[in-house]
Amino acid sequence: MTSARPAGRSVERTRRRGGIAMPGPEVLRPGDAGYDAARRVWNAMVDRRPALIVRCRTTSDVAAAVARARTEGLEIGVRCGGHGVVGHAVPEGGLMIDLTPMGDIRVDPQRQRATAQGGALLGALDAATAPYGLATTAGNVSHTGVGGLTLGGGMGWLAREHGLACDNLLSCEVVTASGDVVRASAEENDELFWGLRGGGGNFGVVTRFEFRLHRTDPRALSVERDFPVAGAMAPAARWRDLSEGAPRQATYTASVGGGVATLGFVWTGDPEQGRDHARSLEALGEPVARRDVESSYLDLQRRDDDVQGHTQRRYWKGHYVRELSDAAIAALLAHDPSVSAGLQAYGGAIADVADEATAFSHRSAAFEYVVATRWSDPDEDDVRMATARQSAEALAPYSSGAYVNALSDDGVAGVHRAYPPAKLARLSRLKDAVDPDNVFHLNHNIAPSRAATAR
Ligand SMILES: Cc1cc2nc3c(=O)[nH]c(=O)nc-3n(C[C@H](O)[C@H](O)[C@H](O)COP(=O)(O)OP(=O)(O)OC[C@H]3O[C@@H](n4cnc5c(N)ncnc54)[C@H](O)[C@@H]3O)c2cc1C
């Protein structure tokens, strides 16, 4: 550390690379300019104050930050897009490894590959690959981080055609708990590679992701039909039936909130084909509103950016649903109108991959359910969260598990819902091998099998 801290910030001691002086990472402490901006994440309820925020620029910065945290006994939080709803990325009194300066994307159009640094956002990945007519599965809001999304699975509009983000991962560069930098792929450290595809941030800090890209039609269509919630049972049941035989280009979506049920799908590719498929929705009956919105794939990926913007207080709960029974639909339609709940169809290429092939689990889910609520007055915290919990509780009898990236304050029970017992046991053995001291525990934690350190 420099002893004098210019302009309220500090820079780790200068390193030399190839004879050229390189600045170390910027290090922020409480009171420094930029400290408050750096600790702010998507959910405004997260208001934690790390002792140190290390804004890493290189893999060696990350390795040094891990070593420093261990030496100084500081808890580690790893921040990419900052979208984890419980804000594990921001450790109270700990060391936050801020990967946001590591946001570069490189595209190799010939080999149809892209590499993303560990702090990259989805919007940057999509924007870099689109000029080549290429894309890989990414989530539906462009300011989400590649890191957290991919390590948990990564559901997006291309997933039914090309698999989850983690299914398109070819290799990772990882800083482990011991500070080593290793490569994980099908050929090298294959068990670690298995765990990184769905096991979240438990096994190290990923400083580079390598993805397979696909030729992708740059067009898309979003089809939505609104029904009053009170009369939506029959339309929703028909929508569910239609989803079962839908082409892979169609991802069926439903949402309820504010007394309205919206049923439809998102189509990737030729909008005319999407319109043809939309004719099947006439079977739902006459809606009170209909929207067929044609857009570029890139605009589709940014469609919800504003409504999902920062500064609001947030809470969510999720389930996987293997069979969406009439009773489950009825429970969804009975939600309090103050919450917003949605279903997004799985199947297709997601289910083509064997469940044991990756740490990501529950590939037989028909739908992912998430109930979410947002507000701005802290006095409403308890009632808002209680209402969302009650809604999720109403769907619990139909749940077949949970998506790790849709967990919130579920603790150990949530981790058990995200991974079946055999999977969890294998993940714990991997944790024994790569992080026996549970250095990376600020996440949906997979505890080492020999330690009672699940948090
Ligand atoms: C608005 C919004 C939209 C979303 N849409 C989708 C969607 O369409 N599909 C979907 O599947 N999910 C979606 N999610 C869920 C999202 O995948 C998770 O919230 C995910 O954890 C966010 O990752 P992040 O990097 O943005 O968040 P962070 O809070 O930065 O990271 C979350 C955790 O991931 C780990 N982590 C992140 N980066 C790294 C890294 N490089 N190395 C090691 N560990 C790391 C850390 O444990 C960290 O605490 C959405 C979330 C939000 C808020």
**Residue 18 binned pLDDT confidence (cut-offs 50, 70, 90):** low
Pocket of ligand 1 contains residue 169 by CB under 6 Å: no
pLDDT at 15 over 80: no
What atom in ligand 1 is closest to the CA of residue 308? 1
Distance 81 CA to ligand 1 centre (A): 6
Pocket of ligand 1 contains residue 83 by CB under 6 Å: yes
User: Which residue type occupies 289?
Assistant: A
What atom in ligand 1 is closest to the CA of residue 209? 41
Residue whose C-alpha is closest to residue 333's, from 400, 390, 391, 399: 391
pLDDT of residue 21: 59
pLDDT of residue 125: 98
- 105-215 architecture in CATH? 2-Layer Sandwich (3.30)
CA distances from 294 to 7, 258, 271, 275, 401 (A): 49, 25, 7, 10, 34
Q: Which residue's CA is minimally distant from atom 39 of ligand 1?
A: 147
Largest pairwise CA distance in the chain: 72
Contact 350, 160 (CB under 8 A): yes
pLDDT of residue 310: 87
Residue whose C-alpha is closest to residue 259's, from 333, 344, 369: 333
CA distances from 450 to 47, 131, 425 (A): 33, 49, 11
CA distances from 13 to 32, 56, 64, 195, 442 (A): 18, 13, 11, 34, 28
What are the pLDDT digits (tens) for 304-346?
998 888 899 999 999 999 999 999 999 999 999 999 999 999 9
What is the 3-class SS of 51-118, one letter each residue? CEEEECCCHHHHHHHHHHHHHHCCCEEEECCCCCCCCCCCCCCCEEEECCCCCCEEEECCCCEEEEEC
Cα(349)–Cα(363) distance, integer angstroms: 10
Q: In a mutational test of the pocket of ligand 1, which residue from 99, 149, 158, 208 has the highest number of ligand atoms less than 8 Å from its CB?
A: 149
Q: Which residue's CA is minimally distant from atom 34 of ligand 1?
A: 148
User: Which residue type occupies 366?
Assistant: A
CA 333, 335, 337, 339 dihedral sign is negative
Q: Which residue's CA is minimally distant from atom 3 of ligand 1?
A: 141
**Residue 222 binned pLDDT confidence (cut-offs 50, 70, 90):** very high
pTM for the model = 0.95
Pocket of ligand 1 contains residue 148 by CB under 6 Å: yes
pLDDT at 259 over 70: yes
What are the pLDDT digits (tens) for 41-56?
999 999 999 999 999 9
Residue whose C-alpha is closest to residue 123's, from 108, 103, 151: 103
Angle, CA 408 vertex, CA 205 and CA 159 arms, to 5°: 70
The residue ranges of every structural domain in the chain are 6-98, 105-215, 219-409
% residues pLDDT > 90 (the chain): 92
What are the pLDDT digits (tens) for 56-110?
999 999 999 999 999 999 999 999 999 999 999 999 999 999 999 999 999 999 9
pLDDT of residue 451: 57
- 219-409 architecture in CATH? 3-Layer(aba) Sandwich (3.40)
Mean pLDDT of 386-411: 97
Instruction: Say yes or no: domain 6-98 is CATH 3.40.1190.20.
Output: no
| Cβ-based neighbours of 175, under 8 Å, separated by 6 or more | 59, 62, 63, 66, 181, 204, 205, 207
Q: Which residue's CA is minimally distant from atom 7 of ligand 1?
A: 139
Q: Which residue's CA is minimally distant from atom 44 of ligand 1?
A: 201
Mean pLDDT of 418-431: 97
In the predicted model, what is the mean pLDDT of the chain?
Answer: 94
Exposure string (b/e) for 287-320, b if CB count within 10 Å is 16 or more?
beeeebeebebbebbbbeeeebeeeebbbbbbbb
Q: In a mutational test of the pocket of ligand 1, which residue from 83, 320, 368 has the highest number of ligand atoms less than 8 Å from its CB?
A: 83
**Residue 24 binned pLDDT confidence (cut-offs 50, 70, 90):** confident
